[in-house]
Structure 1
Amino acid sequence: MKPVIIDRDSGVELWTATQCAEFSGTARGTFTSYAGRGRAPRPVTKYNGLTLWNSDEVREWQRQRLAKNNSSAED
């Protein structure tokens, strides 16, 4: 089973810190540190003790990170 959290109002999938870290290829602590320092998206809500992020924002943040890293590698 793979449960998913979907925001009822927006229909957006919400991710835990672990899911965000897995998607971005970082450690969970690294991702939460980035978020706490404004280097990654900020969490959007808490639900039953879970801190949650908008998956669309995390995907866009990762896309921008990869684009930046690719352009740096080409320089």
Structure 2
Amino acid sequence: MTPATDPSSLPDDWWTATECAAYLGITRGTWTAYVSREQAPAPERMFGRSPAWKPQTIMSWAASRPRHGK
């Protein structure tokens, strides 16, 4: 992970935990639980104290997730 000092400097090409959760249709708490249990990608960068992911990482991970009943 590459640290950054200013959390307000989050570029548009990075997603916060809230944005990842919104994309997946889950709560932020569920997303952070997935990450802490290593069931989701680890943050790729920290902006201040805020973890962030590249959108393509989350989209690829979501596409590869098994679905219930399929």
Q: TM-score, normalised by structure 1?
A: 0.70
**C-alpha distance in 2 between matches for 1:22 and 1:32:** 12
Give 1 or 2: higher strand fraction. 1
Please tell me whether residue 49 in structure 1 is matched to residue 45 in structure 2: no
Give 1 or 2: higher helix fraction. 1
Amino acid at match of 2:42: R
Structure 2 unmatched ranges of 5 or more: 1-9
Q: TM-score, normalised by structure 2?
A: 0.74
| RMSD of Structure 2 on Structure 1 (CA) | 1.7
- Alpha-carbon deviation of 1:38? 0.8
Structure 1 unmatched ranges of 5 or more: 7-12
Stretches of 4+ aligned residues off by more than 6 angstroms: none
1:23-67 Cα shifts (integer Å, max 9, x gaps): 0111001101101111011101111332111211110111112xx
Please tell me whether residue 31 in structure 1 is matched to residue 37 in structure 2: no
Give the secondary-structure state (helix, strand or coil) at the position aligned to 1:15: coil
Give the secondary-structure state (helix, strand or coil) at the position aligned to 2:53: strand
Please tell me whether residue 5 in structure 1 is matched to residue 11 in structure 2: yes
Larger Rg: 1
